[in-house]
Amino acid sequence: MLSRRPQATIDLAALEYNFARVKQLAPNSKVLAVLKANAYGHGMLMVAQALHQADALGVARLDEALALRAGGIAKPIVLLEGFFHADELAQIVASNLQLVIHHRDQAEALLAAQLDAPVRVWLKIDTGMHRLGIYPHEFNELHQRLSQSSNVQGPLRLMSHFASSDEPDKPATANQLTLFQHITQGNAGEHSLANSGAVLNWPQSHGDWVRPGLMLYGVSPMAEAVGKQHGLKPVMTLSSSVIAVREVSAGDAVGYGGSWIAAHNSRLAVVAMGYGDGYPRGAGNNADVLINGKCHPIVGRVSMDMITVDIGTAPVAVGDKVVLWGADLPVEELARRVDTIPYELLCNITSRVQFSYIRHT
């Protein structure tokens, strides 16, 4: 019997398709595929296995990297925020992880450590994001000292992160790129700057390594776009089922707080999906779902486990499949409606949702 629980269906063929699209856009760059936050909610290990063509994988935290290693992933893995405490360095060396060094204190701790083997270092420069990264004026000194350290393997890789690459009309990205080139001029190390927005909008920033996250999952980083416009295929379909159909009369108030009042006699489908599954509460009276391929509005508030949908006279029955987002209902559109970004919606899916992996060609 088909489960009526909320489902996230992950299409690994779409993931591979999007990876190929990255290679097409950045043909001369290696790809560091970003898998932090459980691969943007898609399931880190399955995504890592499917992306066997990636040159390296990027995660935010040590436990994410260790989970990949425990799952048998042998590929280079980069800790995008480096280590948080020098105690972690032994494990980082033992698990053959690579480090971003983004702060003088981190560099000093690495230089002072006693390691069993040298680690690969990506030196991150702050060129305008003002979050992580060494100051431009620290570059020459830290670069030289790290390069000479027996704790550091081979030539340093040099990186920076863009604040606004998803907004091609702003000058910020060009300014960051110019500053990066100026600081690193004459340096042999491989360069990496481009997140998804820059892979799509700033070919001059691709360098030796691109670092796409969101676009691998088929989703656009740009506020007004959807993945399809960039030649991407959404990887996740979030779906559930109708668990009840009921009639309401004109004037009936629906759900908590009675925030929606039926204007005329109608029919409602109750769907097993709520904020307890990670579906955004802001979608109440504010978004659509697909039932049997047709668009219907969510009416009333989103509850923890359920939403109510106005189905009018459509022939909807208990057990019918409901799509909350996917190829025909972009998550980007829902993000706009509820005033957030698709990154957040994807990451917020909870463990109540049942994941399945398919290869839809």
Ligand X SMILES: *Cc1c(COP(=O)(O)O)cnc(C)c1O
Q: How far is the CB of 196 from ligand X (least distance, A)?
A: 3
Q: How far apart are CB 323 and ligand X at their closest, in Å? A: 24
In the complex, what is the shortest distance from the CB of residue 58 to ligand X, in angstroms, rounded to a whole number? Answer: 6
Please state whether 43 falls in left (phi above 0), alpha (psi between -120 and 50) or beta.
left
Q: What is the smallest separation between the CB atom of 95 and ligand X, expressed in angstroms?
A: 20
Query: Residues touching ligand X: how many (CB under 6 A)?
Result: 12
Q: Which stretch binds ligand X (CB under 6 A): 145-153, 178-186, 207-215, 304-312?
A: 207-215
Largest CA distance in the chain: 77
Residue 233 appears among annotated catalytic residues? no
User: Which one among 133, 207, 212, 234 touches ligand X, defined by CB under 6 A?
Assistant: 212
Exactly one of 214, 299, 306, 307 binds ligand X (CB under 6 A); that residue is 214
Give the C-alpha distances (Å, rounded to integers) separating 253 from 88, 122, 249: 56, 57, 9
Name the H helices within 12-136.
Answer: 12-25, 36-41, 44-50, 62-70, 89-94, 104-112
Joined tokens for residue 59: 């995660």
Query: CB 5: neighbour CB atoms within 10 A?
Result: 14
Token reading at 196: 């998804």
**Per rule CB under 6 A, is residue 213 in the interface with ligand X?**
yes
Told to check if 342 binds ligand X by CB under 6 A, we report: no
In the region spanning residues 33 to 62, those forming contacts with ligand X, defined by CB under 6 A, are 34, 36
221 is a site residue for ligand X (CB under 6 A): yes
The candidate with the shortest Cα–Cα distance to 114, out of 150, 141, 81, 79, is 150
What is the smallest separation between the CB atom of 177 and ligand X, expressed in angstroms? 15
- Least separation in angstroms between residue 188's CB and ligand X is 22
Which of 80, 101, 238, 323 is in the footprint of ligand X by CB under 6 A? 80
Residue 211 touches ligand X, criterion: CB under 6 A: yes
Asked if residue 191 binds ligand X (CB under 6 A), the reply is no
Give yes or no: 23 in active site: no
Considering only residues 42, 161, 191, 206, which one is a binding residue for ligand X as defined by CB under 6 A?
161
Using CB positions, name the residue nearest to ligand X.
213
Between 190 and 320, CB nearer to ligand X: 190
Among 106, 195, 237, 308, binds ligand X (CB under 6 A): 195
Catalytic residue among 135, 170, 256, 294: 256
Integer Cα distance of 192 and 173 in angstroms: 14
- If residue 223 lies in a helix (H) or strand (E), which one and from where to where? none
Tokens 């690969």 map to which residue? Answer: 120
The answer to the question of residue 173 lying near ligand X (CB under 6 A) is no
Helix/strand/coil percent split, the chain, to 5: 35, 25, 40
- Among the listed ranges 14-22, 66-74, 111-119, 190-198, the one in contact with ligand X (CB under 6 A) is 190-198
DSSP state of 300: S
Q: Which residues contact residue 297 at a Cβ distance below 8 angstroms, ignoring those fewer than 6 apart? A: 285, 287, 288, 309, 310
Q: Active-site residue among 17, 36, 170, 233?
A: 36
Q: Segment contacting ligand X (CB under 6 A): 22-30, 106-114, 212-220, 222-230?
A: 212-220
Say how far apart CA 34 and CA 24 lie, in whole Å. 18
Q: Which is nearer to ligand X, 33 or 283 (CB)?
A: 33
Q: Is 164 in the site for ligand X (CB under 6 A)?
A: no
Q: Is 213 exposed, middle or buried (0-12, 13-18, 19+ CB in 10 A)?
A: buried
Per DSSP bridges, beta strands 77-79 and 56-59 are parallel
Residue among 196, 239, 303, 308 that touches ligand X (CB under 6 A): 196
Query: What are residue 176's phi and psi, to 5 degrees?
Result: -65, -40
What is the DSSP pairing of strand 260-261 with strand 152-159? Answer: unpaired
**Known catalytic residues?**
36, 256
Report the interface residues with ligand X, using CB under 6 A. 34, 36, 80, 161, 195-197, 211-214, 221
